[in-house]
Amino acid sequence: DSSSGSSGFFSKRTFPGRVPAGIGRKSLRIVVTGGAGFVGSHLVDKLISRGDEVIVIDNFFTGRKENLVHMFRNPRFELIRHDVVEPILLEVDQIYHLACPASPVHYKYNPTNVMGTLNMLGLAKRVGARFLLTSTSEVYGDPLEHPQKETYWGNVNPIGERSCYDEGKRTAETLTMDYHRGADVEVRIARIFNTYGPRMCLDDGRVVSNFVAQVIRKQPMTVYGDGKQTRSFQYVSDLVDGLVALMEGEHVGPFNLGNPGEFTMLELAEVVKETIDSSATIEFKPNTADDPHKRKPDISKARELLNWEPRISLREGLPLMVNDFRNRILNGDEGKGL
């Protein structure tokens, strides 16, 4: 069902048709799986604005039509409700594969990382498309090397509660490299570190969205464990720039895409408090199993080979998501799929 995407053809409003995408480059047809999600929808905005045709495949497991509604009348945009665990036939130039239940409360439910990745690689092989996998810093597990370089093999519990996510992504990386070596598919692998910004799910339990939503609702911020564990938080537009640079570049990767600025959860709570409400409080809760103690990307490889680095610090980026969160919370939109 791609009807919502094509309705613009028959509307009275006028849109540019298939335009040349920049000087000297022909416009591409690009699939974004998971394009109705947080990162995917920002990527779609960028690809459409530079003149490409975009087909989103999403089953709305955690994604929302609202994230794409501004695209529905654009003739270069199509939305297909489909689960990537099932095969699909399309003719495309590039595949950005983001579909994945990406947070602890969701990712246990679904074999997307293995079956979905296999199908998208099969599609890439059949049509000769370039395939980009959005892997994760979780492949490093609870890292024994700090900061993490791409050469580090990780410290992952294969049978823990998080395993279907981190081992699922590790398997997805393996499949991607197998199709590259065995079937000559052009592939790219991004290892994404914690990312935040507007359109993040409100209810998926990630720390930045939890803290921001809690403070807007005048609830205490829930700090898990002693709050001394660290993460490095990247603003979504920096990630999208990195994904496009990787897809367009000549290197397979894997590449770490993240912001090396490292914060404890207590420090993050302090920045959220300064940004939104100086009367905000915190409350300690037990931590989840196998929670990595620290995480920080070494991004020298992406700097050197992709000429990419993040530009937006946590203090600059947080205010950019607060309005979006405030509006959604006031409108009672708790971020559930449609």
Binding site for ligand UDP (CB under 6 A): 87-89, 104, 118-119, 122-123, 125-126, 194, 205-207, 210, 222-224, 229, 231, 265, 287-288, 291
Site membership for ligand NAD, residue 74 (CB under 6 A): no
For residue 214, CA distances in Å to 203, 233, 277, 280 come to 11, 18, 11, 9
165 is catalytic: yes
Q: How far is the CB of 80 from ligand UDP (least distance, A)?
A: 13
Q: How far is the CB of 119 from ligand UDP (least distance, A)?
A: 4
Residues 6+ apart with CB under 8 A from 157: 141, 142, 163, 290
Q: How far apart, in whole angstroms, are the C-alpha atoms of residue 65 and residue 72?
A: 9
Cis peptide preceding 147, ω within 30 of 0? yes
Which residue's C-beta sits nearest to ligand UDP? Answer: 122
Site membership for ligand NAD, residue 210 (CB under 6 A): no
Site membership for ligand NAD, residue 40 (CB under 6 A): yes
222 strand-pairing partners: 283
Residue 324 phi, psi dihedral angles, 5° rounding? -60, -45
Measured from the CB atom, is 138 or 241 closer to ligand UDP? 138
Residue 44 phi, psi dihedral angles, 5° rounding? -60, -45
Which of 96, 107, 140, 165 is catalytic? The answer is 165
Q: How far is the CB of 57 from ligand NAD (least distance, A)?
A: 6
For residue 8, CA distances in Å to 77, 142, 338 come to 9, 48, 21
Measured from the CB atom, is 139 or 216 closer to ligand NAD? 139
Residues that bind ligand NAD (CB under 6 A): 33-34, 36-40, 57-63, 83-85, 98-102, 110, 112, 116, 134, 136, 192, 194-195, 201
Residues known to be catalytic: 165
